[in-house]
Amino acid sequence: MAEEVILLDFWCSMYGMRARIALAEKGVNYEYKEEDLKNKSPLLLQMNPIHKKIPVLIHNGKSICESLVIVQYIDDVWKGNGNLLIPSDPYEKAQAWFWSDYMDNTVHEYARKTWATKGEEQEQEQAVKDFLGGLQLIEGVLGDKPYFGGDNFGFLDVSLIGYYSWFLAYETFGKFNVESECPKLISWVKRCLERDSVSKALPDSEKVREFVQNLRKKFGLE
């Protein structure tokens, strides 16, 4: 019996990009279903009744929620396909989870403030400073390695690369440049974009910038 794999997602979600990249890295065929986050589908509400958020992976009728959990699930289920994404070394695995969590729960909030701050120049400047400081810490973890896991593209690369598609929006409204502050990180981005799994999963940065500009108008920030 053929496997049923469905991904409920939203086009510019950096969390959904993780699932798309992991599925592509493993060569898994799946059905993509774009969600309207203002009018969530009955399927999304059924499959993620706790948080009611994307992404949700549905595998043979069973749902897996939360993007990092999804990546680990994909790596476990399709272990024989492609490279392992999750580090086998317990310490490296712990570090990968730690820095993924740091990006999602700390740096991401600084990033949001770079474009979502209204008329509070000092607060926005602090957000930019904090955001770049967070990226510099992550750049330090990368060091001179090709990828975060060393020579092989892996879990932390999958976890972080989706944020790049939002950099242009952050830079535009926060008035800064990531590459001038974190050149090694942007070099890593360029290496990641050479992979089909990444280049096909990440949306156009200009389109994301327009999306953020519309959000700013909606929230009365312009």
Q: What structural domains does the chain harbor?
A: 5-77 (3.40.30.10), 90-218 (1.20.1050.10)
The residues that bridge with 56 in the sheet, in sequence order, are 8, 65
What single-letter DSSP state applies at residue 103? I
> In this predicted structure, what is the pLDDT of residue 82?
81
Confidence class of residue 81 from pLDDT cuts 50, 70 and 90?
Answer: confident
Indicate whether 167 pLDDT > 80: yes
Determine how many CB atoms are found less than 10 A away from the CB of residue 204.
Answer: 11
The verdict on whether omega for the bond into residue 90 sits within 30 degrees of 0, i.e. cis, is no
Binning the chain into helix, strand and coil, the percentages to the nearest 5 are 60, 10, 35
DSSP H/E element including 33? strand 31-34
**pTM for this one?**
0.96
Confidence class of residue 83 from pLDDT cuts 50, 70 and 90?
Answer: confident
Note whether 43 and 65 are within 8 A (CB): no
Confidence class of residue 2 from pLDDT cuts 50, 70 and 90?
Answer: low
